[in-house]
Structure 1
Amino acid sequence: MSQFQSVAIGQEFTQTRRVYLEKDGQVISPFHDIPLFANGEKTVLNMIVEIPRWSNAKMEIATNEKYNPIKQDVKKGNVRFVRNCFPFNGYIWNYGAFPQTWEDPTVTHPETHARGDNDPVDVCEIGSEIGYTGQVKQVKVLGVMALLDEGETDWKILAIDVRDPMASKLNDIDDVERHLPGLVKATREWFKIYKMPDGKPANEFAFGGECKNKAFATQVIHETHEAWERLIQGVIPAKADTHTIEVTNVNVENSPYKSSKPFHKSELGQYTQINPNDSAVKGRDDAWYYVSARL
């Protein structure tokens, strides 16, 4: 059982929906209060699931709201859903973010030649389990792509749940190509085309769309973690012309934004505890099978 629990308020698929994370009844920030690293060696990382695999609602950490709940993105006054671009059905991985990372919009990356997008680093978790919004997964890093989204660097880390049956076989991006053939290509294609049904052009990538290896991805994560540390410690202002970040937290030492007043989940009003087993169906299998037919 995870030490972190998810509680939801508001009706699903509306602008009032919020998923908060709590620990021991106290509301915490999934952006700031959950540690990035889950072990002393810093080889296992915590990941916040925003969007479960095979779903379409564009959920995201609300970086500008107190305690940073997860909400559905809004465009032109309506909650946002991604389209099903053949042959894909919604998101093809558990999609989320690494806590305690920040893509600094004031800094231009020397290799992508673009500034950060002002968000935590995105994660595509490629394991077989379907996650749930607000779930905290322990993952290991495998590689990274660099999407150039409207002129900003938008890192996409590929990772796998350490409990997944395939985790022992996947230790770098070449292992993904070997054991899950076509997944890296499908990931690149998904990010390239997913906005096109809404009339937008195909997305572009740094590095010609190449998926960089684990070492490169790890460097990106450490750089963005250091940027977050500068932000949460007040070295970089939380509000500036280039960005606005809500930095209230409950357990970050040496942070000037650490709250001295606990916020209990009962103060949220009417809430629902998210039970990850509510939708479990005996015999259902949502995994992908990487097989080839010999003709």
Structure 2
Amino acid sequence: MTETVVLCVDDDATLLQALRSLLVPQLGPGHWVEIAESAEEALEICRELRDQQRHLAVVISDYIMPGMRGDELLVRLHGMAPATIKMMLTGQSDLSGVKRALAEADLYRCLEKPFVSEELVRSTRAAVRTYWERLAWLSRRSATGDPRDGLCTAPELAQLLDERLSQPAARPLCVTLIDLGEEEGSDERPLLALVQQLQRHQRATDVVGRWGGEAFLVINCNTELADAFAHAEALRQRMALQGLEGAAQLSLGVASSRPGEPALALIERAAQALQAARTEGCVQVGVAD
């Protein structure tokens, strides 16, 4: 059985032992819980696991720690292990670090301290499952997709979305439609910048691909509407910082799935939200009703 590692990071040694005692019996055979009392120790463990070719599936980090804070740790870990699922524990009301982790480290979930044991176990199990789903998707992508940028093709996106929506008791799912609105033959720099942003900041819970023309579709798996909107807004802000004229035409539409709704109907609602945002005459993110 392939070993799956969950890394818990906190400067409170007592809490770390409690997390290990809670998770080890709940995750079961084939899972190993590592602990680190600082961000620096966590980074070293990550390097060791990478050298040993072991699977670091999930990192659960405290937010406020001496030295390096949890958001900075997760951003650095994302650069080292982008497929690893990142979770944060925090007892602070300051959301700036959470927002940064969402935008730059594909934060999967944020849990408040003191945490509820059942919720933490449930979230960790889901995160482990998402990690292996992510690896399977990456394996499939190695042999398929658009050779220009490695993103999914439209047929693949439609098939995957149908599969997700057909699952019983499906977890929250949203789609984000992104369109530059450029005419063929115009400056390609905004398009290339958008592709780079989509690749660099793709979260483990996202599937990204071309939808046609200068449009892209993101399937936000295991994601509530508010989180999908926050991720889309972070993309909009990063594109605005590019300083490229064509980026001013960027429009985004976000929609959350409804029970029994076909894939194309969900995408159409995202398209309507995108068009409504474009009609407003400024770059913004539209949200479907």
TM-score scaled by length of structure 2: 0.29
The structure number with the bigger radius of gyration is 2
Taking CA–CA contacts closer than 8 Å with sequence separation of 6 or more, which of the two structures ends up with the larger relative contact order?
Answer: 1
